[in-house]
Chains A and B, each alone.
Chain A
Amino acid sequence: MGKTFNPKITAFLCKWCSYTGADLAGTSRLQYPTAIIPIKVMCSSRVDPVFLIRAFLKGADGVLIGGCHPGDCHYESGNYHTRRRFAILQSIFDSLNLEKDRLRLSWISASEGPKFARVCNEFTDKIQKMGPNPTRKNMFI
């Protein structure tokens, strides 16, 4: 306690777009927070809501999904399904009052290195303000 809060944000990034966008942010030497822990997935629709729940209950202060822009999914419609599942998860978080603002969905293309950096900065700022994940201290989880 009394320590500064260094948020941890798990980011599930689609290999065809957002992950490559993150790479571009790196090679362009753009700064984004070390809070972000990227996980590469084949498509944003690979992210089962359970992955987000698991990250959240294991203490991630924020969880991000990055996918291709609507219409650009490598598998045509994966991201549209992602969006619906995300809506379900948001609704569940709402019903359970689990701070749904800790969940974030973003469309970031392979050429949007700067957008990737901005999303990460913006989201990290927000989480920083929200403080640590409330599940972090509970033993009975």
Chain B
Amino acid sequence: MSTDSKSGGRIPIENGIEQTLRKVLKESLKSDLIDALLLPVKVPSGDSYAWILMQDPALVEEEASPMAAVMPVQGAKALKSLTRKGNGSLRVAAMMRPCEVRGTIELSKLNQINLDNVTLISYDCPGALPLSDMSDAPQDTEEAFMGLLSERNFESTAVKPVCQFCTEFSMGAADVHIGMADPDTSQLLLISGSEKGTAFLSATGLKVDEEPSAWEKQTDSIQKKRIQQMDKAFQTIQPMVEGFDNLADTFSNCIGCHNCQSACPICYCRQCYSDSKESSLESAYYLDKAEKRGGISLPHDRLMFHVGRLSHMSLSCVSCGQCTDACPVSIPVAKVFSYVAAQTQQAFEYKAGKTAGEAIPLKEYKEDELKKIHEMTKSAESQESPHE
């Protein structure tokens, strides 16, 4: 990953990665820098995780699963529910996957998350395992994920399909990042990405004075492989969506439950147009269509829902794959959305959630841009005196 000079520090791994990390987190909570931690915790039934806002340092050590095997609720959604009405003076550190950080950055640009006093911690992510693995076989799934972490395995095909070609698996806009890809497996590398991050790390008593160049080299080489994976994946996705009939086939078994949308961190509207009464029509309309097309499926408008959703959120899509996890009929929603989003974002040279500073392209404009569309608006103008 191209990085401006980042600095890091190390602590020896004792009793496993998670336990070491819990200690760091606990220290931060004991310091007077952080009031609460937002962390995944295994639910009592043992087959999933929930986001818990924790204030008791003892609980962190007993309960936290800072690197969870699956991603039941996207972290950006959890942070949104905490800070949508502002963050007051509560100083929170949240432990997230890189795609959750990206979702968070997008939501903060959309005024749904307030990042004041929030410290974001991320880690090199080997990919999340499919949510259904965890409900089918909790223990195996957890062990499998811990295996990926301890072996520094970033090429697993067991992780969610979009994770397999995720190129943004490493440090992005987080304040603190854990260099899981670092070649030194006896120590945990903690990297600071901002002033907040440096303050956080010093509050935990860590000396941050190292340039993590071995880690950078490693993440660069993983990223190169991921880019190849992405090209390959896109080649297989293309025929699934290109041309209207193929697209319709891909979504033909959609049951219209809109779970993909509820799970999406970016879809934050309280009411979606697709769920509004404006989107349904008189029965005469459907009869008329049935006559003209020979027949129509009911409930109607499934493709309008998906293409419409793409038009609303693809610029901000972070390819976290929550939509696929949520789909009860195994439609590869995330692959399709990732594929389309890559192109929408490219059209604006934008990468969702990558940096915190810039506005999302829909919030701004330039007077002189989008040449091709400009040409289109010019056509048929010629014979007249130019408009003034």
Q: How far, in angstroms, from A138 to B248 measured CA to CA in the complex?
A: 8
Q: Are A140 and B362 in contact (CB under 8 A)?
A: no
Contact B293 A84 (CB under 8 A): no
Q: Complex: how many Å from CA A140 to CA B248?
A: 7
A119 CA / B383 CA spacing, docked (Å): 12
Question: How many A residues touch B, CB cutoff 8 Å?
Answer: 48
**Contact between B370 and A53 (Cβ–Cβ < 8 Å)?**
no
In the bound assembly, the distance between CA atoms of A57 and B293 in angstroms comes to 12
User: Which residue of the partner chain B has the closest CB to A89?
Assistant: B311
Q: Give the interface size bracket for B toward A.
A: 35 or more
| B340 interface hit (Cβ, 8 Å) | yes
Stretch at the interface among B117-125, B159-167, B374-382: B374-382
Binds A, one of B172-180, B195-203, B238-246: B238-246
**Bound complex: CA of A60 vs CA of B293, how far in Å?**
13
CB distance from A129 to the nearest CB of B (A): 15
A96-B307, A96-B340 known; A141 vs B373 contact (CB < 8 Å): no
The residue in chain B whose Cβ has the minimal distance to the Cβ of A101 is B376
> Is A131 engaged at the interface, CB distance under 8 Å to the other chain?
no
Min Cβ gap A133→B in Å is 9
CB distance from A70 to the nearest CB of B (A): 6
Give the residue name and chain of the A residue nearest to B285 (CB): A58
- Bound complex: CA A24 to CA B339 (Å): 44
Q: How far is the CA of A105 from the CA of B343 in the complex (A)?
A: 21
B378's closest neighbor in chain A, by CB? Answer: A107
Given contacts A92-B310, A96-B242, contact A84 B362 (CB under 8 A): yes
Is the CB–CB distance between A77 and B340 below 8 Å?
Answer: no
Residue of B whose beta carbon sits closest to that of A88:
B344
Contacts of B315 in A (CB 8 A): 88
From residue 315 to 348 of chain B, which have CB atoms closer than 8 A to chain A? 315, 339-340, 343-344, 347-348
Q: Convert A73-99 into 0s and 1s, putting 1 for each residue whose CB lies closer than 8 angstroms to a CB of B.
A: 000010011011111111110111110
Q: Residues of A contacting B314 with CB < 8 Å?
A: 88, 92
> Residue B292 at the A interface, CB < 8 A?
yes
- Bound together, the chains give a CA A94 to CA B304 distance in angstroms of 16
CA distance A96 to B300 in the complex (A): 20
A80 surroundings in chain B (CB, below 8 A): 365-367
Q: From residue 96 to 141 of chain A, which have CB atoms closer than 8 A to chain B?
A: 96-98, 104-107, 109, 112, 114-115, 118-119, 122, 134-141
Residue of B nearest to A119 (CB): B380
Q: In angstroms, how far is the closest chain B Cβ from the Cβ of A77?
A: 7
A53-78: CB near B (< 8 Å → 1, else 0) gives: 11001110000000001110000010
B365 to A49, Cβ gap below 8 A? Answer: no
Q: CA–CA, A69 to B300, complex, Å?
A: 37
Inter-chain contact A84/B370, CB cutoff 8 Å: yes
Interface centre among A49, A54, A57, A84 (most CB of B within 10 A): A84
Whether A135 contacts B377 by the Cβ 8 Å rule is no
A87 touching B347 by the CB < 8 A rule? yes
**Is the beta-carbon distance between A50 and B308 smaller than 8 angstroms?**
yes
Q: Which residues of B contact A105 (CB under 8 A)?
A: 373, 376-377
Q: Residues of A contacting B377 with CB < 8 Å?
A: 105-107
Q: Which residues between 232 and 252 of chain B lie within 8 Å of chain A, taking CB atoms?
A: 241-245, 247-249, 252
Q: Is the CB of B244 within 8 A of A134?
A: yes
Cβ contacts under 8 Å, B295 to chain A: 139
Tell me whether B301 and A57 are in contact (CB under 8 A).
yes
Q: Contacts of B273 on A, CB cut-off 8 Å? A: 48, 50
Tell me, rounded to whole Å, the shortest Cβ–Cβ distance linking A29 to chain B: 17
A-B contact pairs, 9 of them (CB 8 A): A48-B273, A49-B312, A81-B362, A88-B311, A92-B307, A96-B340, A107-B387, A119-B379, A141-B302
Residues of B within 8 A of A (CB): 241-245, 247-249, 252, 273, 289, 292-297, 300-304, 307-308, 310-312, 314-315, 339-340, 343-344, 347-348, 361-362, 365-367, 369-370, 373, 376-377, 379-381, 383-384, 387
